[in-house]
Amino acid sequence: MIAAFRQKHPDHPSRRNVYTRLAVAVAMLMGLLVLPVASPADPPPSALPSWNDGEAKAAIVDFVERVTYVAGPDYVAVPDRIAVFDNDGTLCSEQPSSIQLAFVRDRVKLLAPQHPEWKEKEPFASLLKDNLAGVAASGEKGIAELVMATHAGMTTETFRKIVRDWFATARQPRFDRPYTEITYLPMRELLDYLRANDFKTYIVSGGGIEFMRPMTEEMYGIPPEQVIGSSIATKYELEGDTPVLMREPRIDFIDDGPGKPVGINTFIGRRPIFVAGNSDGDYEMMRWITAASGPHFGMIVHHTDGEREWAYDRRSDVGRLDKALNEAPQRGWLLVDMKADWRRIFDFAE
C-alpha cells in the first residue's frame, strides 16, 4: 500500500510523513517488545556513566526520578522542568583563565599593531606581556575597556565569525586541546540525562552571551536561545540598504552574582527547579532557585582535583567559592567533589 502510494506520487511532500511515521512506529514497537524484558530495578543503563556510584550521583538520580514520576507527590510538569548551569568552572575548566579571557588576549595581540598606544596603556600593556595580575589590577574598568576594544564596533554576524574562527585554532595551554574539548564529561552526561527526562537546559553565565552562543550547541547541545549571559548594547542600523545589528561599546547587562536571577527571570520568566554552579558568582541564583516551595535541586561543582584538573576554592582569584561553600550544608546544596565523584573528567583523558 505504501509502496504503491510512493510510486504514484513520487514528489509529493506528504510522502515523507508516511516514512517518518513508519520509522517511528517500528521503533516504538521494538521498544515495546524489548522494554519489559529488562529488569525494572536496573538504573537507566546510560545515565551518568562517568560519575562514580555514591551520594552525589544517587541524589541527582533520586531528584530526577521524583520530579518525573507522574503519580508521585513531587511530580513536575514538563514545561516547568527548567535546569540552569553556570558555564566557566561548572561545565568547563576556567583555569588558568576563562576561555573568554584567552580570546581577549589573542584578539588584543592580533590588533596591537593597529594600536601602538596599547604598549603604554593599561590594561593592554599588561595583557600584551601576559601579566594577568596586572590586568586584574586594572579592575572592572580595565576589563570593560578590554571587552570594548575586542567585542564592539562590528556587526553581530562579524563577531560571530571571529569567535568561530578563534575556536577553530586556539588551544588550551595545559592540555594542548581545542577549547571545545575542555568541557566536563560528567556534566555533559548530566545535561543529556536531564534532557532525556524532558528538562530544558540553559546556560546562565557571567560570560558574554554572544561569545558563548556560536559554540554552545557543539559543546553542550544547548541552542543559542537557551544561553543567558552578559551583554554589550546592540543597535539596529542600515549598512547601505541592509539592516544590521551593530555592537556598541557600552555594557548592557552583567549576568553575574545578583544579576543571574534577574537574567533568568528576564529570559525564562519562570523559576528553574535545578541549578548547578561552582562559585560565589552563582550564590544569588542558587539562593533564589532553592527558596522555591516546590521541588528543587542545587549543586556546586567543587574543584578538588589538582591532578586531573585544578584544586581551588576560597582563595582563588578565578571562580572563588567561599560564601556558597559555607552555606551549602544549611541550604541543602549538593557539593560535588570532582576528585571523588567523577570517574573521568575529560573526553580526552582516561
Residues that bind a second copy (CB under 8 A): 1-2, 4-5, 9, 11-18, 21-22, 24-25, 28-29, 31-32, 35-36, 40-41, 65, 68-72, 79, 156, 200, 209-210, 213, 217, 223-225, 227, 231, 234-236, 242-243, 245, 258-259, 261-262, 265-270, 284, 287-288, 291
Which are the contacts of 341, defined by CB distance < 8 A and separation ≥ 6?
51, 52, 54, 56, 57, 186
Identity of the residue, 112 or 244, whose beta carbon is nearer to a second copy in the bound complex? 244
User: Would you give the DSSP letter of residue 292?
Assistant: -
Identity of the residue, 105 or 271, whose beta carbon is nearer to a second copy in the bound complex? 271
Report the C-alpha gap between 201 and 220 in whole angstroms: 10
| Beta carbon of residue 101, minimum distance to a second copy (angstroms, whole number) | 22
Query: 204 in helix, strand or coil?
Result: strand
Do residues 90 and 277 lie in contact, with contact meaning Cβ atoms separated by under 8 Å?
Answer: yes
Identity of the residue, 184 or 283, whose beta carbon is nearer to a second copy in the bound complex? 283
| Beta carbon of residue 183, minimum distance to a second copy (angstroms, whole number) | 19
Is the dihedral angle over the CA atoms 301, 305, 311, 314 positive or is it negative?
positive
| Beta carbon of residue 235, minimum distance to a second copy (angstroms, whole number) | 7
User: Would you give the DSSP letter of residue 57?
Assistant: H
Closest CA to 204 of 87, 79, 321: 87
| Beta carbon of residue 145, minimum distance to a second copy (angstroms, whole number) | 23
Query: 46 in helix, strand or coil?
Result: coil
| Beta carbon of residue 162, minimum distance to a second copy (angstroms, whole number) | 16
Report the C-alpha gap between 202 and 188 in whole angstroms: 12
Identity of the residue, 49 or 72, whose beta carbon is nearer to a second copy in the bound complex? 72
Identity of the residue, 20 or 129, whose beta carbon is nearer to a second copy in the bound complex? 20
